[in-house]
Amino acid sequence: MAFTKILVANRGEIAWRIMRTAKAMGYRTVAVFSDADKEAPHVAFADEAVRIGPPPVGESYLSIDRILEAAHKSGADAIHPGYGFLSENDAFASACESAGLVFIGPPASAIAAMGNKAAAKRRMIDAGVPCVPGYQGDDQSDANLEKEARKIGLPVMVKAAAGGGGRGMRLVEQDGDLLEAIRTARAEALSAFGSGELILEKAVVDARHVEIQVFADAHGNVLHLGERDCSVQRRHQKVIEEAPSPAVNADLRARMGAAAVAAARAIGYRGAGTVEFLLAADGAFYFLEMNTRLQVEHPVTEAITGQDLVSWQFRVAAGERIPFTQQQVRLDGHAIEVRLYAEDAYAGFLPQTGHIDVWRPASGPGVRIDHGMKDGLAISPFYDPMIAKVIAHGATREEARTRLIRALRDTVVLGPTTNRHFLIRLLEHPEFAAGEATTAFIGKHEFPAPEVSEAHWTEAANLLWRASAEKYAPALRGWRNSNPEPTPIRLAADTTERLLHVDGRVVGNALFHIDGDDIVVDLDAHTVRFTDKTYAPPATAAAGSDGKLRAPMDGRIVAIKVAPGDTVARGQTLVVLEAMKIQHQLKAALDAKVESVSVHEGQQVANRTVLVTMATDAPAH
């Protein structure tokens, strides 16, 4: 039971967070890392670090053999799995035990007991834990499942017994869709989890997701630390978590807490665990599943209980008793957490990769930011693109909420697009502010991409000008005059291009980072990446693949190099356009024959004016 050197089989913010407590308690720490994480702060923070393999998780963080080998090499006598990766893998927990290592987590048998939803539910029903009415039996034939679903009554949820966290789940509202749903859910479950076993449940609509933090020691003590409300989710990815739940009062907390404790007792649990419930609009609650690990969102519970749950994990794993009784658990104030991701929330939540050039996590009263970042660190495509967890604690929900908004506004993250602006909007939304957001919250509101403001464009251009005035030679000529001539700088943000006239004299308070031809500008919590196109060949000049050459910007035609009837080759200059003293050669995008020329030399033209029309042999597409 006793151990002195803990290997953390994880990466990023959670590895760092676990090692902070380990060091504070006097343990030695061992980090593991893949080749993608050599430079990560959690690796530098550890007393020792062991390379476990190449970036893919199967050959590194998910490889039981590599992790055990690293423990052996470093002389670690305990392993903390963190969350994700191997944390809920009962084979890993057993392998640690067999190798004589303390697994800082529940017994393998308790992990296994919750690994199958059907078996888990049967045990929970036996233990008197309220479950959603449904079918969790052995007869998996289509005919039987259809019959059972009709007995339950639509709408029903079809869930993969081996699934979890919403994967392999289907809502059936109409009888005609039932058989198809059963068959596709079974096929999906088989390919995703290696088992086609299904359970059926009455669908509880418009529920909240409320989970109870439990803790158990090896001496028969089991207690709960209140609930977290994780209703604000997107496709089963939690976005905002808070404690306590705006929908739970002391009486409900005591009843849900007792049910969660009963669930943990029923499976001989030890350590930190979370029992997930659906809380229906009528106040009824139902067991969903148990997560047999420490969760991402544990800091909100730590904030309101004043406890370090990782230190509890170490104590319990070392055979000590939980340092508290249920009566001693006090909940103080309110805490809210958001997950800051490298993702484009306004473009389908697409994960982003790239380097975090500047990282300045905010600080302040009640603010905690758990992260594994540093300036220049890459968000690689191999792992979850979470940058940090931002947590705020306050005396009231409103204080926590406003502190969290402040912390997000003050956090500087320049590099790939993040969801920071989106998170602030969620937190500012009246429905969330009122504590009324359910699982439907994100889906039922529109969160369109914000416009790039005039101030963003001006600041980007002026900051570029100031950072490299010599690059814009005409400006230097102007510099010597008493009246500097405005310099044209052409910028692109997404698909919009604009020509701006700057003299470097406008300076606002934007934060920025220049990255090659790009400048990332952070103004009013909205971070925008611009590309300097001043000296790039105009992109739209090559775009005439529809047979029309258009002006890429406002300007004056200084030369026309072709006439109707001419045959032109791709890349051949057709027209020269001058805009802000720069001459742009506008070229043919395709081999073609000129049909007409719509402008004359000396003519002023507006952006996107058709200049030349061509006919091509190739069909238009």
Binding site for ligand MV4 (CB under 6 A): 132, 157, 165-166, 201-204, 207, 209, 233, 236, 276, 278, 288-289, 439
Query: Nearest distance from residue 149's CB to ligand MV4, in Å?
Result: 12
Spell out where 235-357 has E strands. 237-243, 271-279, 285-291, 334-341, 343-344, 350-351, 354-355
Name the residue nearer to ligand MV4 (CB basis): 34 or 233: 233
Rounded distance between C-alpha atoms, residue 70 and residue 50, angstroms: 6
Rounded distance between C-alpha atoms, residue 115 and residue 162, angstroms: 6
- What is the DSSP pairing of strand 48-53 with strand 28-34? parallel
Name the residue nearer to ligand MV4 (CB basis): 159 or 584: 159
CA atoms within 13 A on the CB side of 100: 6
Residue with tokens 């799995």: 81
Name the residue nearer to ligand MV4 (CB basis): 51 or 202: 202
Query: Nearest distance from residue 156's CB to ligand MV4, in Å?
Result: 8
Rounded distance between C-alpha atoms, residue 340 and residue 347, angstroms: 16
Rounded distance between C-alpha atoms, residue 29 and residue 17, angstroms: 12
> Does 122 participate in catalysis according to the annotation?
no
Preceding omega of 155 cis (within 30 degrees of 0)? yes
Contacts of 26-31 spanning 24+ positions with Cβ under 8 A: 27/3, 27/314, 28/4, 29/5, 30/5, 30/6, 30/70, 30/71, 30/74, 30/76, 31/7
Name the residue nearer to ligand MV4 (CB basis): 285 or 530: 285
Query: Nearest distance from residue 439's CB to ligand MV4, in Å?
Result: 4
Handedness of CA 561, 564, 567, 571 (dihedral sign): positive
Query: Nearest distance from residue 435's CB to ligand MV4, in Å?
Result: 16
Query: Nearest distance from residue 310's CB to ligand MV4, in Å?
Result: 24
User: What are φ and ψ of residue 404, in 5° steps?
Assistant: -70, -40
Name the residue nearer to ligand MV4 (CB basis): 71 or 157: 157
Query: Nearest distance from residue 230's CB to ligand MV4, in Å?
Result: 7
Rounded distance between C-alpha atoms, residue 411 and residue 570, angstroms: 48
- Facing residues of 274 across strands? 213, 291
CA-wise closest residue to 459 among 511, 531, 414, 420: 511
Name the residue nearer to ligand MV4 (CB basis): 314 or 441: 441
User: What are φ and ψ of residue 455, in 5° steps?
Assistant: -65, -35
> Which helix (H) or strand (E) covers residue 247, if one does?
none
Spell out where 292-360 has E strands. 334-341, 343-344, 350-351, 354-355, 358-360
Query: Nearest distance from residue 209's CB to ligand MV4, in Å?
Result: 3
Query: Nearest distance from residue 403's CB to ligand MV4, in Å?
Result: 25
Residue with tokens 């067999």: 98
Tokens of 172: 């059936």
Catalytic residue from among 17, 66, 228, 293: 293
Name the residue nearer to ligand MV4 (CB basis): 166 or 450: 166
Name the residue nearer to ligand MV4 (CB basis): 236 or 374: 236
Tokens of 281: 């609009």
In the chain, the N- to C-terminal Cα span, in Å, equals 70
Q: What share of the chain is helix, strand, coil (3-state, %, to 5)?
A: 30, 30, 40
Q: Is 413 left (phi over 0), alpha (psi -120 to 50) or beta?
A: beta
Query: Nearest distance from residue 201's CB to ligand MV4, in Å?
Result: 4
> Which helix (H) or strand (E) covers residue 142, if one does?
helix 142-152
Name the residue nearer to ligand MV4 (CB basis): 212 or 460: 212
Which residues are tagged catalytic? 293
